[in-house]
Structure 1
Amino acid sequence: MAEAGPFHFRTEVRVRLPETDAMGIVFHGNFFTYLEVGRVDYLRNLGLSEGVRPIKDFENVVAAAHIDFRSPARLDDPLTIDVRISEIGGASFTFAFEIRHRKENRVVAQGYTTHVAIDDEFKPMPVPDEFRRVIAKFEGWDR
């Protein structure tokens, strides 16, 4: 199931000093932390928080991560992180992200992370139907 469309979830972060580099902008590696903040907040919002394991015997690991940098973010900049699940496959699913400067509404970065569903033995498994249902309802795929 692949779906392109609007983002239905947003969270916010503010750039902190240790996230910046010698040029005074966010060090590129720290954007992966912002993606994780967005992903965890998205799942928490849906009652699927990674730390709680609401779906028995289901975890996921990041298999791929990609970011395109569009414009710089600096110390104390307020950033919004828009998040959606853009695709669910047999044993994987993909989060899409867009990070914007909240006040200037300019795109700072866009990216995705692809996750593989795993069981308690760290072996790939099908994405659970319950997870699919919750995501489809939230993202509007069931309409």
Structure 2
Amino acid sequence: MYISETKIVVRYAETDQMGIVHHSNYLIWFEAGRTDFIKGSKMSYSEMEEEGILIPLAESSCKYIIGAKYEDELIIKTWVKELTPIKVEFNYSVIREKDQKEIAKGSTLHVFVSKSFKIINIKKNHPKIFEKLQSLHT
């Protein structure tokens, strides 16, 4: 199973009055991790979109374990938990690099849709793209 790693350094603007990262930033970091994960399959989000495949977010969750702070160096680990011809679920683990502690974890569920937002079966309609994603999942 392929796990991508995306490095993030917490910016001051990402923190709140309490000096910790505002919770809304984690979903942005998950997206950065997902983008890097897709690149690991030798394609990009843009290439998928050019093929007429969109993967909108259907569900998201995040468990906050320890607050990240300004200038913390983080690693977003991303992998596929489940892949079917119509959906993909990504899991994430946010690790503080200096002590290797997991500070948050989460998941996002996406559906494969056409540009008209109709659910599509990518295994049937785009078998090469499905194979690339599947090769990272197994």
Work out whether the TM-score is over 0.5.
Answer: yes
Residue 90 of structure 1 and its aligned partner are, at CA, apart by 3.7
Distance in 2 (alpha carbons) for counterparts of 1:27 and 1:54: 30
Q: Deviations over 1:63-118 (max 9, x none)?
A: 11100111110000000010111101241110110001011110111000000101
2:46 is aligned, of 34, 51, 54, to: 51
Distance in 1 (alpha carbons) for counterparts of 2:42 and 2:134: 14
Change (3 A) 1:123 1:95: same
10-19 vs 84-93, greater mean Cα deviation: 84-93
1:12 corresponds to 2:7: yes
Change (3 A) 1:32 1:108: same
State the aligned residue count: 135
CA contact (8 A) 1:11 1:41 kept: yes
Q: Per the alignment, in what secondary structure is the counterpart of residue 33 of structure 2?
A: helix
1:95 corresponds to 2:90: yes
Q: Per the alignment, in what secondary structure is the counterpart of residue 95 of structure 1?
A: strand
Name 1:3's counterpart in structure 2: none
Aligned alpha-carbon RMSD (Å): 1.6
Q: Per the alignment, in what secondary structure is the counterpart of residue 135 of structure 1?
A: helix
Name 2:132's counterpart in structure 1: 134
Greater helix content:
2
**Counterpart amino acid of residue 95 in structure 1:** F
Structure 2: gaps (5+ residues): none
1:33 is aligned, of 28, 34, 37, to: 28
Name 2:118's counterpart in structure 1: 123
CA contact (8 A) 1:92 1:127 kept: no
Name 2:104's counterpart in structure 1: 109
Name 2:37's counterpart in structure 1: 42
**Counterpart amino acid of residue 130 in structure 2:** R
